[in-house]
Chains A and B, each alone.
Chain A
Amino acid sequence: MTWILIGLAMAGLGLGYILYKNHIIQVAQENTRLELELKNVVNRNIQLRYDIDKLKAPQELQRKIQSMGLVKITELKVYTMDNLSGTRIARGPLPEGKLR
């Protein structure tokens, strides 16, 4: 009887070992898959950030401004108000034919 119990315990331990080993392998594979996925997401993120930087580049913005017929900020008249004295100071040319 004792030997039967010892045998069953050994078999249980062996089975448990195999099950947990299998679980470890599955988790490791899942981990590897997720690592790869994360890497792809990071790379895609870098690419998207680069695309944003390209779109934010001053040359690109200037091209857009020209294509949309807008006025550059440097061509607008800028007013600075002094709250204490009520002074109004204007600076910068106003392009002809453009509404303020």
Chain B
Amino acid sequence: MNFLADFRGRALLVTVGLSFGFTLVSLRLVQLQLINHDKYEEMAIENHWKRIEMPAVRGSILDSSGNVLACTRVLQEVRIDGKVFPDPSVNLPKIAQILNLSADDLAKNFDPEKRYQLIANDIPNDVASQLKDLKLSGLVFNEKQVRSYPNNAHASHLIGFVDGEQTGLAGVEKAMNKDLHGTPGERWIEKDARRREIAAYRGKDQPPRDGYNVSLTIDLTIQHIVEDELDKLVTKYQPSAAFVIAMRPKTGEILALANRPTFDPNRRDEMTVSSMRNRCLTDMFEPGSIFKIVTMAGAINEHLVTLDTPIFCENGKYFYAGRWLHDHEALGTLNVEQILAHSSNIGFAKLGEALGEDRLYQYAVDFGFGQPTGVLPGQGESFGLLRPPSRWSKVSITRIPMGQEVAATPLQMINALCAIANRGRLMAPQLIKQVSDSDGRVVKVYHPRVIRQIITPETASLVSKALVSVVSEEGTGKNAAIKDLTVAGKTGTAQKFVDGAYSHEKYTASFMGYFPEEDPQVAILVMVDEPQGKQFYGGEVAAPAFSEIGTQIAQCLNLQPSNVSTEPVQRAAL
């Protein structure tokens, strides 16, 4: 008691208390500023600073003339926060009017207890601006990128589509994803107490680099011609599938490619797996008679025959290795050009025998059969089917020359024909033309690529001449003729192999050709899988469609007539 009553004692007590207090505070400061420094620094930065990712706009896909095939739009999504939305009975009808929705439906679906209810998806910015002008609390806008395809289903199998994250899943969207994607930017902003940006204290600001634009070799007008005619073909024959490919033989550029069934990439919910398959690349078919050009080119190139060499076609029935081989009509002795024009199976079986297994196989490989073209890598392109001679049966040498026991994709078939049109040079099919940035500066250029010289230009000319006779009045492909232009081509009617035997009900009808024969500008393949009805020959089903498509493409490309009279117009004397 005396101690406390003593002044010096009390002062000492206060000093000790204060010292203890300051020590505690100091320790706490050491804990906050030294020991937990990183944690609190992070919390402070998080409170004040915010990183905003600025997404890059995905590049567009263009056709060879710069028409847009795929582009990215920035659209808005609108949500209502029911808990803070004022006066729903007055404001909901206003929103419904701007969004062109039913006010009753909107009111019925509105829940005042629910937060962030989605009311509209993918609305354009001008509509979003009208909603913002209402200045209503509780209306939340989210910006999002949407991939759009202005030509709907046109060339959809080539263009492909993207997922919700704007990553390419198929077609050019997938193959060129790295170039199309771009690099997102970032911005660091400092926020005030109301979490708004303090513009003067903006930190790192790195703008995004938008994706590059990819130009294709596709010509939108030709693509439209092809799609239009394909629709007519499908309506007429109700096939299980149908394809058309148009190419430039000299460069291998794909001008148009269309499949049926097809899909519209704008309507993801309606897309089915079977309609999304690019069958021109993934599915293989027995080429049938259109493979005969390979046999013929090989036999002429090896100097075994000329176009005038006579071949006896056994009057329509040929017995070989214990099996009968038939022609569609009884044919006697024809020369090589005529056996192609009449598409004689027996004639070509004999050409195959003369060529021999090894050489026939090698020519098929050289023409690109049994290997993918690589036009869209990593997207399930089929190799086709071409067995080595060691795995051939005794009759294979009479069946393969006419296109049985081999299988190829439609793209492989037309590419092989392009080699004939291109004086024996096989080109790699080309789909990508160039890559450029958003200001139009070219970043990458893709050039046509020669794979190999398969046959001599002289051989190619002879085969080409024979192919012209196919489209003559006597030939199987007379319906493929194009007025005023010389067409070279070949029909194909392949029986489908069903349950271990060739079907007499299911066929693949095809025609492929090019024009003008003197200076080939366009090659077209028309293939109809399982046409319904009485007509199933390539010359009846596919050849007329070829003619229709070819006529329109010739006008579109302004091709000069090749076989019209060029007599000057006589002026009448006045």
Q: Is the CB of B555 within 8 A of A92?
A: yes
Chain A, Cβ-Cβ closest to B150: A53
The verdict on A64 contacting chain B, using a C-beta distance below 8 Å, is no
Q: Select which of B150, B154, B555 is within 8 A of A91 by beta carbon.
A: B555
Q: Is the CB of A78 within 8 A of B555?
A: yes
Inter-chain CA distance A88–B564, complex, in Å, is: 10
The B544-574 residues at the A interface (CB cut-off 8 A) are: 551-552, 554-556, 560-561, 564, 566-569
Q: 12 other contacts beyond A32-B199, A46-B73, A58-B151, with CB at 8 A cut-off?
A: A25-B199, A28-B200, A46-B71, A58-B220, A73-B555, A74-B225, A80-B560, A87-B568, A89-B561, A89-B566, A91-B555, A92-B555
Q: A28-B200, A31-B199, A91-B484 are in contact. Are A53 and B125 (CB under 8 A)?
A: no
What B residues does A28 contact at CB under 8 A? 199-200, 202
Q: How far in angstroms is the closest Cβ of chain A from B497?
A: 38
Q: Is the CB of B567 within 8 A of A50?
A: no
Q: Classify the secondary structure of B's interface with A.
A: mixed
Chain A interface size range: 20 to 34
The A44-100 residues at the B interface (CB cut-off 8 A) are: 44, 46-47, 49-50, 53-54, 56-59, 62, 73-74, 78, 80, 82, 85-89, 91-92
Q: Is the CB of B152 within 8 A of A50?
A: no
Q: How far in angstroms is the closest Cβ of chain A from B556?
A: 7
What are the 3 A-B residue pairs with the smallest beta carbon separation, nearest first? A58-B224, A28-B199, A53-B150
Q: Select which of B71, B124, B126, B564 is within 8 A of A53 by beta carbon.
A: B71
1/0 contact trace for B90-108 toward A, CB 8 Å?
0000000000000000000
Q: Is the CB of B555 within 8 A of A88?
A: no
Chain A, Cβ-Cβ closest to B228: A62
Q: Is the CB of A85 within 8 A of B568?
A: yes
The size of the chain B interface, using a CB distance under 8 A, is: 41
Chain B residues with a Cβ under 8 A of chain A = 57, 67-68, 71-74, 124-126, 129, 148, 150-152, 154, 197-200, 202, 220-221, 223-225, 228, 483-484, 551-552, 554-556, 560-561, 564, 566-569
Q: Is the CB of B200 within 8 A of A89?
A: no
Q: Select which of B129, B154, B567 is within 8 A of A59 by beta carbon.
A: B154
Q: Is the CB of B221 within 8 A of A53?
A: no
What B residues does A21 contact at CB under 8 A? 200
Q: Select which of B200, B551, B567 is within 8 A of A74 by beta carbon.
A: B551
Q: Is the CB of A44 within 8 A of B126?
A: yes
What B residues does A46 contact at CB under 8 A? 57, 71-74
Q: Is the CB of A50 within 8 A of B148?
A: yes
The verdict on A11 contacting chain B, using a C-beta distance below 8 Å, is no
Q: Is the CB of A86 within 8 A of B568?
A: yes
Q: Is the CB of A32 within 8 A of B197?
A: yes
Q: Select which of A43, A56, A62, A91 is within 8 A of B125 by beta carbon.
A: A43
A-B contact pairs, 9 of them (CB 8 A): A40-B129, A50-B68, A50-B148, A74-B556, A78-B555, A80-B561, A85-B566, A89-B561, A91-B484
Q: How far in angstroms is the closest Cβ of chain A from B465?
A: 24
The verdict on A10 contacting chain B, using a C-beta distance below 8 Å, is no
What B residues does A80 contact at CB under 8 A? 560-561
Inter-chain CA distance A89–B223, complex, in Å, is: 27
Q: A47-B124, A86-B568, A87-B566 are in contact. Are A58 and B154 (CB under 8 A)?
A: yes
What A residues does B198 contact at CB under 8 A? 25
The A3-17 residues at the B interface (CB cut-off 8 A) are: none
What A residues does B129 contact at CB under 8 A? 40
Q: Is the CB of B152 within 8 A of A57?
A: yes
Q: Is the CB of A43 within 8 A of B74?
A: yes
What A residues does B569 contact at CB under 8 A? 86-88
Q: Is the CB of B484 within 8 A of A40?
A: no
Q: Select which of A53, A62, A87, A92 is within 8 A of B68 by beta carbon.
A: A53
Inter-chain CA distance A78–B154, complex, in Å, is: 27
Chain A, Cβ-Cβ closest to B189: A32
